[in-house]
Amino acid sequence: MTKAKALVITGNGTNCETEAAHACKLGGFDEARIAHIAELLTGEVSLDDYHFLNLTGGFLDGDDLGSAKAQANRLRYAAVEGKEERLVDQITRFIADGKLILGVCNGFQLLVKMGMLPALSGNYLKQTVTLTYNASGRFQDRWCYLKVDPASPSLYTRGIEGGVYLPVRHGEGKFLVDDAKTLEAIEAKHLSCLKYSDKNYAAPTMEFPENPNGSVNAIAGVCDETGRIMGLMPHPEAFVHRTQHPRWTREELPEEGEGLIFFKNAAKYVKENF
Ligand SMILES: NC(=O)CC[C@H](N)C(=O)O
C-alpha cells in the first residue's frame, strides 16, 4: 500500500506546524514532514513527493499588507531554483494529480488570496473572496460551534453529525465575497461547508460572539468543487485530544478531540486513492 505522506509548510511566521504535523500522524499519515518554505523554493523539497499539503496558522510576514498577502504573492510568483517552473506550477500540478490541501486560519487566508478557494469552475488562480478584519475590530480568541453542511463535497467533514466545536484565534477572519453571484454560486454548490452556529448546530448565526468575526452568511470554512481543497478559520489541529477542550476537567468527553476527524478523513482518502 502507498505510504500516505503529509507536508506541512513553515517559515515566515507560521506557528502551528508542530500541531498540524502531530494531527496528521494521529490521523493516520505514515509521514508528516515539516518543511521550511525555503526548502521548496530551493527545490530541496518537492510537492510531487507528497499527498497532503498543510498550510497552517500563524502570522505570515507579520500580517503586513493584510494577513497572508505577501506569502500569497511569493507562492504565486516565485521560481523554484534550478527548475523551469514556479512554485505555483507545482501547486497546480498537485491539485491536478488529485491531491489534498488543507489551509487553517492563516493558511485559509493564504489559499483565498492566491485564488485557490473557492476556485469556482476550477479556476485556481483567480481571487473572488477574501478574509478581512473582524467586525469587532479586535483579535478574537474563543471556541466556536461550527455547523457542517452534509451536502458539501468536502472530504474533510465527512461523517460529522451536526457540527464541530473548535477554537478560533484571528484578527482577520471576516469572510467577504466580490459580488452577490460569487456568494450564490458558493451556496448553490454547497462549498460553504462550515458555518458559525448556535451550540445545537440548529442554524448559522450572525450574532457575536457565536459568529466571532461577522463573516457573510456565517461562513467559517469553504472547499473547492472537488472537495479536496478546504480552508477554515477554526483550528482542527488544536483539538485532537480531550484535554485541549476548555472544560475537559468538568465534562465527560471522548478521548479523541473533535478536530481529528479532518485529518483522519484526509489520511483515509489518500490510502483509498493512491
Ligand atoms: N491564528 C492565525 O493563523 C491568525 C491568522 C492571522 N494572523 C490573523 O490574525 O488573522
Looking at CATH, the fold of the domain delimited by 5-273 is given as: Rossmann fold (3.40.50)
> Closest Cα partner for 108 from 219, 261, 25?
219
C-alpha cell at 140: 478574537
Q: What is the pLDDT of residue 273?
A: 97
Q: Which of 17, 19, 172, 237 is catalytic?
A: 237
**Pocket flag, ligand 1, residue 169 (CB < 6 Å):** yes
Let me know if 39 is a catalytic residue.
no
Cell of 198: 448556535
Considering 19, 24, 51, 105, which one is annotated as catalytic? Answer: 105
Question: What is this structure's pTM?
Answer: 0.98
**Rounded CA gap, 185 and 182, in Å?**
5
> Average pLDDT for residues 131-135, to the nearest whole number?
98
235 is catalytic: yes
Query: ω before 167 within 30° of 0 (cis)?
Result: no
Instruction: Supply the pLDDT for residue 228.
Output: 98
Q: 3-41, pLDDT tens digit by residue?
A: 999 999 999 999 999 999 999 999 999 999 999 999 999
Domain segments of the chain as ranges: 5-273
Nearest residue (CA) to ligand 1, atom 5: 106
The pLDDT of residue 17 is 98
* Burial tier of 40 (Cβ tally within 10 Å: 0-12, 13-18, 19+): buried
Percent helix / strand / coil, the chain, rounded to 5 = 30, 25, 45
Distant-in-sequence, close-in-space partners of 180: CB < 8 Å, separation ≥ 6 = none
